[in-house]
Each structure stands twice: as structure tokens, then as C-alpha cells.
């Protein structure tokens, strides 16, 4: 057993909700949690983040505009939930769809209830040739051939995987040479902002989330899953070990969130 330097997190395989004993039970617990909060998921996201989540999605989409405006690009949004990241990617395509073959955007998630919410929102952009398509699938075993996508994104979903390294290897498998990935997820800011953030995240957010959703558990799991997630240095090392030749992280909003970016 290897030891970690003082002050760093112990290395973990993946998320571990209460009661989970292995990879399969962890994945099942995560699916059940998101199914239970699907009806209020969008409302809670916007309320609990004070709508800052919308800015994070847009900023991430802008980061990959050079791929989204590439004629015929193939894009996958992994752990897509109700589709907000996929819709942000679609909006970033913008007027370019008049000059190029529109990119194919696919959203994948293993929660049927979350995908139903995404499909309900799709009708708003039904006439848009870049409207996302949806597929129910496990992020660790996706039904796509090798080197199929130019871009793979994941917004606040990768942290919930039962095996982080397996998830990274699956993303690398799917990307074409030169393809990129963007993993947007929460972080743990330092200093005074960090103190306020931790108080809100651990004391306020679980109570508000439980009150609005009417479901106990998922919003206590959220801060625990962020605390368990690898710190930036370890995450970047894991990305390189999985096969990314380049890996960087850009903090958003004082480090409350951040975008991990990798290139194959």
C-alpha cells in the first residue's frame, strides 16, 4: 500500500455512495439517486448555484468552439443528465451551421429518468439541425467504436463514476487522434472563499436540496462526492496516465468549479 503526502487525499477508485460495496453497487446507487431527483433537477441546479452553472456551461462550450464549428464534427456529452451541457454546445455552434455540415451532438446517460427530461427540452430546438440526440448508456462501457469522436465533454457527471481511471480510458478510446475532452466539475477553493463554500456546501445546500426535492440523501451525497474527488494535481496525472498527451485545468469562479481539458 502506498502512502500519500501529508495533506493530500488518499487515492480512490471512484465514487462511493453510502451502502455501496463495489463498482456495481456504487453505479446502481448513483443511478437511483438521480432518478429520484430528476423531476426537480434543473430547478435545484439553478437555485443552488445561483444560476452560475449556466455561465460555466457556456464558458466550457466556448472553449471548444474550434471543434464545434468544424464541418461534420462528432461530439459526445457524457453523463449528460437533463442535457444542459449538450444544449450549451449546440448553442455555441450558432450561425456556423449555415456554412458547415452541422456537428453531430450526442448526449449519453445511464439514468432513463434524466434522459426523459433532456428529450422533453429537445422539442424547443427541434428545427435546429444541430439538436442533440440522446442515448441511454453506461459511461464505462459505451456502445461506440474506437476513435469516433472529435470532442467528449462531461459536466458535473464524471465525479459520479464508480471508476475514474476506467472512465478516462473509455474517453481516450472514443477520441480520434487530436481529439479533445473537457471535464467540468466542482473543486474545493482555498482561503476565505473556501470556508464560505464549505459551509454552504455542507450545511445549507443539503437542507435546501432535500426540502425542494423532497428526497433525503442525494444532496448530502453531493458535498461528500466533491470531497472524495481527486485533487487537481492527481486528476491531471490520471489523465496523462490514461493516454492524454496534454492535460490542463482552468478554475472557474474562485475555484468552485474547474474545467479539466485533455488532448489525445
The confidence score (pLDDT) of residue 130 equals: 62
Strands, E assignment, the chain? 74-78, 104-109, 133-136, 149-155, 175-186, 246-252, 257-263
Indicate whether 144 belongs to any domain. yes
What total number of domains does the chain contain? 1
The pairing of beta strand 104-109 with beta strand 175-186:
unpaired
Q: Is there a domain that residue 2 lies in?
A: no
Question: Domain residues for 105?
Answer: 23-263
Residue 3 is assigned to a structural domain of this protein: no
Buried b (16+ CB within 10 A) or exposed e, 168-196: bbbbbbbbeeebbbbbbbbbbbeeeeeee
CA-to-CA separations, 185 to 5, 96, 126, 215, 231, in angstroms, rounded? 24, 28, 29, 23, 11
* Domain CATH for 196: 3.40.50.150
> Which pLDDT does position 86 carry in this prediction?
96
**Domain-embedded: residue 4:** no
CA 111 vs. chain centroid, Å, equals: 14
**pTM across the whole model:** 0.91
Question: Is 110 a domain residue?
Answer: yes
Q: Collect the ranges in the chain with pLDDT lower than 70.
A: 1-9, 95-100, 123-130
Which pLDDT belongs to residue 1?
A: 33
Query: 242 φ, ψ to 5°?
Result: -75, -20
Is 136 among the domain residues?
A: yes
Residue among 150, 186, 188, 154 at smallest CA distance from 168: 154
In a domain, 14, yes or no: no
Backbone angles phi, psi at 162, to 5 degrees: -75, -15
Q: Do the domain assignments include residue 10? A: no
Amino acid at each position: 500500500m502506498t502512502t500519500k503526502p501529508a495533506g493530500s487525499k488518499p487515492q480512490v477508485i471512484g465514487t462511493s455512495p453510502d451502502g455501496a460495496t463495489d463498482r456495481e453497487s456504487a453505479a446502481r446507487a448513483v443511478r437511483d439517486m438521480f432518478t429520484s431527483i430528476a423531476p426537480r433537477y434543473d430547478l435545484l441546479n439553478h437555485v443552488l448555484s445561483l444560476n452560475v452553472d449556466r455561465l460555466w456551461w457556456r464558458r466550457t462550450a466556448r472553449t471548444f468552439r474550434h471543434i464545434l464549428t468544424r464541418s461534420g464534427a462528432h461530439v459526445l456529452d457524457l453523463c449528460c443528465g437533463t442535457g444542459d451541457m449538450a444544449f450549451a454546445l449546440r448553442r455555441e455552434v450558432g450561425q456556423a451551421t449555415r456554412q458547415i455540415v452541422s456537428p453531430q451532438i450526442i448526449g449519453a446517460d445511464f439514468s432513463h429518468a434524466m434522459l426523459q427530461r433532456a428529450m422533453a427540452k429537445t422539442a424547443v430546438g427541434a428545427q435546429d439541425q444541430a439538436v442533440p440526440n440522446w442515448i441511454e448508456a453506461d459511461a464505462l462501457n459505451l456502445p461506440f467504436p474506437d476513435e469516433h469522436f472529435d470532442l467528449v465533454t462531461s459536466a458535473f457527471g464524471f465525479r459520479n463514476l464508480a471508476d475514474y481511471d476506467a472512465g478516462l480510458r473509455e474517453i481516450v478510446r472514443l477520441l480520434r487522434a487530436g481529439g479533445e475532452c473537457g471535464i467540468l466539475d466542482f473543486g474545493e477553493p482555498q482561503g476565505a472563499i473556501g470556508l464560505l463554500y464549505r459551509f454552504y456546501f455542507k450545511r445549507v445546500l443539503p437542507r435546501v436540496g432535500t426540502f425542494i426535492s423532497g428526497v433525503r440523501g442525494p444532496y448530502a451525497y453531493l458535498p461528500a462526492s466533491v470531497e472524495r474527488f481527486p485533487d487537481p494535481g492527481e486528476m491531471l496525472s490520471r489523465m496523462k496516465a490514461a493516454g492524454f498527451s496534454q492535460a490542463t485545468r482552468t478554475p472557474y469562479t474562485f475555484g468552485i468549479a474547474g474545467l479539466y481539458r485533455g488532448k489525445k
